Copies of this chain bind each other. A is one copy, B any other.
Amino acid sequence: MQSPNPPISNVDELLAADNVTAIVALFADAHPADIADALERLTPLKRPQAWTHIPEDIKGEVLAELSEGVFKNLAHELDKGELIDAIKVLDIDDIADLIPDMPEALLADVLFAVDVETRNNLGEVLSYPEDSAGGLMNFDAISVRDNVSLDVVLHYLRLKTSLPDNTDSIFLVDRNKRLTGILPVNILLTAPGGDQAIKYAVESPVSFQCLDSELDVAKAFADYNLVSAPVVDDVGRLLGRITIDDVVDVIRDQAEHDIMAAAGLREEEDIFAPVARTSRSRTIWLAVNLVTALLGSWVIGQFEGSIQKLVALAVLMPIVASMGGNAGTQTLTVVIRGMSLGTISRGNVFNVLKKEALVGILNGIIWAVVIALIAALWYQDVHLGLVIAAAMVANLFMGAIAGVCIPIFLEKMNIDPALAGGVALTTVTDVVGYFSVLGLATLLLL
């Protein structure tokens, strides 16, 4: 890649060497996103030092590019006046993004510092959920009346010295400000100027309402290859627009969320946060896990007598639990993805359940044969092998059923399946795995 900016890699060393000139020179040429990356790579103590060397005019954009955790941390460390100066010049949607992570006192002062129009627009954006189309909305849409000619549109645009970023279309509205179509900007470059704008307009364009989910917005941008799209109110009046740069952030954040949530982490986790804070933030997850692990242990505890008689059970039972957990996690992952992509819906969920259950049984039989052979050879005991085999089939079957049902149930309960699905699933497969090995052995072998 050829980037206009040299990579910023050694801020840490330059700070240590107190080489201010070099840092200032580095930051002077750099893109705000690259400076933000450099800050993220520093330990929290060093970030405020580096901050002082960022050019004043891009400090706000650097803040907007930081991850939530790092911004939160910096917002507490830096001088309030300086923060306000940096933030107040940002685009409204960028300010709105920062607000949930601001300390209360800073928020009040930021709202006081911005001009009246910005404050009103901010109020509107903040009145919608953070993860809605309204929360992504910007107010820099260019709109013209739909009964004008292309020449008039061109003349109007020339009156502006520049167009907002990602302006790939002009929104056409009727006299009541209702959206009637969108005019691709590039038409203005190729079509005869005397033609009516409406002639070239996309007449029923994709548009969003403020309460649409940002995931639906992201899917629509990806499916229909949009660069910008209008947001309208419930009678179709143009309110603002959403642009691809913000949608890309939504898609990346969503991916981040799903991956982090599966390990019980928040997407804002700051890798260089102090040990105590990190430890605390991860504690709840471990507590949940302890409870589920205790449940498994309780099941084992019911069969202490059996284990004492046949220690091989203690050796083999984790295999059955683990295989069930892995097979079930595969089903769970496929189902969660299918739900979030919309491939799985109420109409076909029963097909999915049937199929996954069959896959579970089939894989269960395959691995039952393998484990039966291993167990029978290891302990020279065919009956033990058969018991483990039966438990394996039972647990892979249950893992498949749980893998389909758990995310559907969690979604109904409004619990994020990406967060809670894995832990719920392995609880089921641990309990069923231990219970089927120990229970069957107690019934049949002892």
- A residues sitting closer than 8 Å to B (CB atoms) are 1-4, 9-10, 12-13, 31, 33-34, 37, 40-41, 43, 65, 133, 154, 157-158, 160-163, 165-168, 185-190, 202, 204-209, 212, 216-217, 220-225, 227, 232, 244-245, 247-249, 251-252, 254-256, 258-260, 262-265, 269, 271-272, 275-276, 278-279, 282-283, 285-286, 289-290, 292-294, 296-297, 300-301, 304, 307-308, 311-312, 314-316, 318-319, 321-323, 326-327, 329-330, 332-335, 337-338, 342-345, 347-348, 351-352, 355, 358-359, 362-363, 366-367, 370-371, 374, 378, 430
- CB contacts (< 8 Å) of A366 on chain B: these are 279, 283
Q: Are B271 and A206 in contact (CB under 8 A)?
A: no
A363 and B279 contact, Cβ closer than 8 Å, known pairs A166-B227, A314-B307, A334-B271 = yes
Q: Are A289 and B374 in contact (CB under 8 A)?
A: no
Residue pairs across A and B with Cβ atoms less than 8 A apart, 5 shown, are A3-B220, A65-B223, A188-B189, A255-B259, A289-B326
Q: Are A165 and B286 in contact (CB under 8 A)?
A: no
- CB contacts (< 8 Å) of A359 on chain B: these are 275, 278-279, 282
- CB contacts (< 8 Å) of A249 on chain B: these are 222
Rounded to whole Å, the gap between the CB of A141 and the closest CB of chain B is 14
- CB contacts (< 8 Å) of A252 on chain B: these are 222, 251, 255
- CB contacts (< 8 Å) of A297 on chain B: these are 315-316, 318-319
Q: Nearest B residue to A258 by beta-carbon distance? A: B259
Within the complex, which residue of B9, B225, B263, B351 is in contact with A245, where a contact is CB–CB below 8 Å? B225
* Bound CA–CA A323/B285 (angstroms): 10
Within the complex, which residue of B3, B162, B278, B322 is in contact with A206, where a contact is CB–CB below 8 Å? B3
* Bound CA–CA A64/B290 (angstroms): 46
Within the complex, which residue of B167, B271, B296, B318 is in contact with A344, where a contact is CB–CB below 8 Å? B271
- CB contacts (< 8 Å) of A217 on chain B: these are 1
* Bound CA–CA A377/B326 (angstroms): 33
Q: Nearest B residue to A296 by beta-carbon distance? A: B318
Rounded to whole Å, the gap between the CB of A279 and the closest CB of chain B is 5
Q: Are A330 and B279 in contact (CB under 8 A)?
A: no
A315 and B300 contact, Cβ closer than 8 Å, known pairs A2-B209, A248-B251 = yes
